[in-house]
Amino acid sequence: MTPQEYVQAMEQAGVGTAVRDDTASTGIDMPEVDDVPVAESWAAPIKAGDENNTAYGAMIARLRDFLDYLAAARPDADTVAALHADLEGWGERLAPMAVAERDQLFGHLRDQHGRAQTMSPQLVVRKADRDNVWGTVRFGRYFLGGNGAVHGGAVPLLFDEVLGRLANSAGRPHSRTAYLNTDFRSVTPVGVELTVRGWFVSEEGRKRIVRAEVRHGDVLCAEAEGLFVQLNPGQL
């Protein structure tokens, strides 16, 4: 396909044709995630000392809300100064609590939807087995690129989360991303529920090829293919 043919295909699919959304509430005040247990093949066993996981996950949910409100706000000088002081104070309080990577909670709580991190949007796994995963996701205002559309860099972040976790699910030895190719098929909207599906294409030796797609209703927003390679003994 030539570059001209590619552009024509994107235009026919609606890429780049979103109507500008200037609504102040876009991507904020989104519904709470319903209480769906994390699929067994994706969840880590609860161990002694994990009693704080749920509270930490709830705190991260409030942090997600805060980032959406911050992205949507045009605060006055007094509010900016107050937030600066508050954030500086919390940074000073948290600094002495730093731990080694293997012991941190952020991004490591597999019994929580989204692993209790804010780098990518919160993926809610509705169903999963050894080779497939189905879920939902909402991109908040924090992930807005423009014109009501999700920032193009945030979509591959979601795919890496989906495909990386699928590639490492069901007791498989750990692997890392070798490549992740993303195709944008139509505008991915902010603030609405999207469906996510991921599946294994092949698994040969150390190489695992997986694919995923994101849809808004019947509209295909984006799709991706990734190659994940199992780590050798001694690699982290």
Q: What does the alpha-carbon distance between residue 38 and residue 112 come to, in Å, rounded to a whole number?
A: 7
Could you identify the residue written with the tokens 């999963």? Answer: 128
What's the token pair of residue 202? 């092949």
Q: What does the alpha-carbon distance between residue 41 and residue 209 come to, in Å, rounded to a whole number?
A: 18
Residues 6+ apart with CB under 8 A from 2: none
Specify the pLDDT at position 234.
Answer: 80
Specify the pLDDT at position 112.
Answer: 86
Specify the pLDDT at position 12.
Answer: 58
Is-contact 33 124, C-beta < 8 A?
yes
Q: What does the alpha-carbon distance between residue 228 and residue 163 come to, in Å, rounded to a whole number?
A: 9
Specify the pLDDT at position 147.
Answer: 92
Q: What does the alpha-carbon distance between residue 145 and residue 200 come to, in Å, rounded to a whole number?
A: 30
pTM for this entry: 0.84
Nearest to 150 by CA among 106, 196, 104: 196
Q: What does the alpha-carbon distance between residue 149 and residue 160 come to, in Å, rounded to a whole number?
A: 19
Q: Is 130 helix (H, G, I), strand (E, B) or coil?
A: coil
Q: What does the alpha-carbon distance between residue 150 and residue 139 come to, in Å, rounded to a whole number?
A: 7
Task: Give 56: exposed, middle or buried? Use CB within 10 Å, 0-12, 13-18, 19+.
Answer: middle
Specify the pLDDT at position 49.
Answer: 57
Specify the pLDDT at position 29.
Answer: 72
Q: Is 106 helix (H, G, I), strand (E, B) or coil?
A: coil
- Report strand pairing: 132-137 vs 207-216: unpaired
Instruction: Put residue 16 in one of left, alpha, beta given phi > 0 → left and psi -120 to 50 → alpha.
Output: left
CB atoms within 10 A of CB 105: 18
Largest interatomic CA distance in the chain: 59
**DSSP assignment letter at 115:** G
Per-residue model confidence as pLDDT tens for the chain (236 residues):
455 554 555 555 555 444 455 677 787 777 776 666 666 656 555 554 567 888 999 999 999 999 999 999 999 999 999 999 999 999 999 999 999 998 999 999 988 888 899 999 999 999 999 999 999 999 999 999 999 999 999 999 999 999 999 999 988 999 999 999 999 999 999 999 999 999 999 999 999 999 999 999 999 999 999 999 999 988 86
Q: What does the alpha-carbon distance between residue 150 and residue 165 come to, in Å, rounded to a whole number?
A: 22
